[in-house]
Structure 1
């Protein structure tokens, strides 16, 4: 069988939708003997208007806390037989996902989507939507209700 994917990126924000995406990414990694890269993005402070980040240094304690959470998640959910690396960065989520995809040379991005509509989507934008539009590799999006069928 041909290996379709060698490296899979799965952004994790610890919400239900990203944990559902992790299930899908894990199964794809196992079926393809691919390395799984988990990425968490530490928030940056919002500007005065509440929309634009203020340019400043990342909060090291936030990144440290997120790294610990991500490492714990990986230990709990990823079997030792699956190659897995964790990455924590700060910045704009869509930009950081796209940068990680390029920097790590991944073949696929698997990410959850909030499924926001209306004004909240317009104001907050959609990280998944931007990643889908700008990604150099295929993007598989999942909703929090997604469940993986086990293939024997």
Structure 2
């Protein structure tokens, strides 16, 4: 099997940095094209105050929904630009900035990009922590026929 197109899922985490490093190194080694996908997951802000003075949710409650969406969009564009600037000297990068459920968007984008491999990072959590936070990398692997390279990172890393 040849890997001619590699899609790398990115966000603003250390796990993403590690996964991107693996994905870009593999792409360089194989002479593969690279696609980057950054997913904006719509934030649901409860309509009532949390009662935590100065808390993040209280700040979000005071913003109109369009401002929250604009802030998320700006943050995602900054993350994408960070990776493009870091790796563009050695790679031609196709960029995907999408909105929706992260796992679903990564799988759909891999199909659109015609990826031969998907690279994503993982928090390497187990037990209750994994159950509570979910696992995008696990959902991606379960819902695609495209091979998935999951780059683990333990919380202590």
Q: What is the TM-score normalised by the length of structure 1?
A: 0.79
Deviations 1:82-130 (A, max 9, x none): 1212221111111111110111110000111011211121122211111
Structure 1 runs (4+) greater than 4 angstroms displaced = none
User: Which of 15, 23, 41 in structure 1 is aligned with 2:21?
Assistant: 23
Deviations 1:59-84 (A, max 9, x none): 244223311321122212x1423121
Which structure is higher in helix share? Answer: 2
Aligned to 2:135: 126
Question: What displacement does 1:19 show?
Answer: 0.8
114-123 or 56-65: bigger deviation: 56-65
Count of equivalent residues: 135
Which 5+ residue runs of structure 1 have no aligned equivalent?
49-55, 146-152
Question: What displacement does 1:47 show?
Answer: 7.2
2:72 is the counterpart of 1:62: yes
CA RMSD after TM alignment: 2.2
Aligned to 2:81: 71
> Which residues of 2 match residues 108-127 of structure 1 at below 5 A?
108-127=117-136
Q: What is the TM-score normalised by the length of structure 2?
A: 0.76
Contact 2:103–2:139 at 8 Å: present in 1 too?
yes
- SS in structure 2 of the partner of residue 59 of structure 1: helix
Aligned to 2:95: 86
Structure with greater Cα Rg: 2
Which 5+ residue runs of structure 2 have no aligned equivalent?
47-64
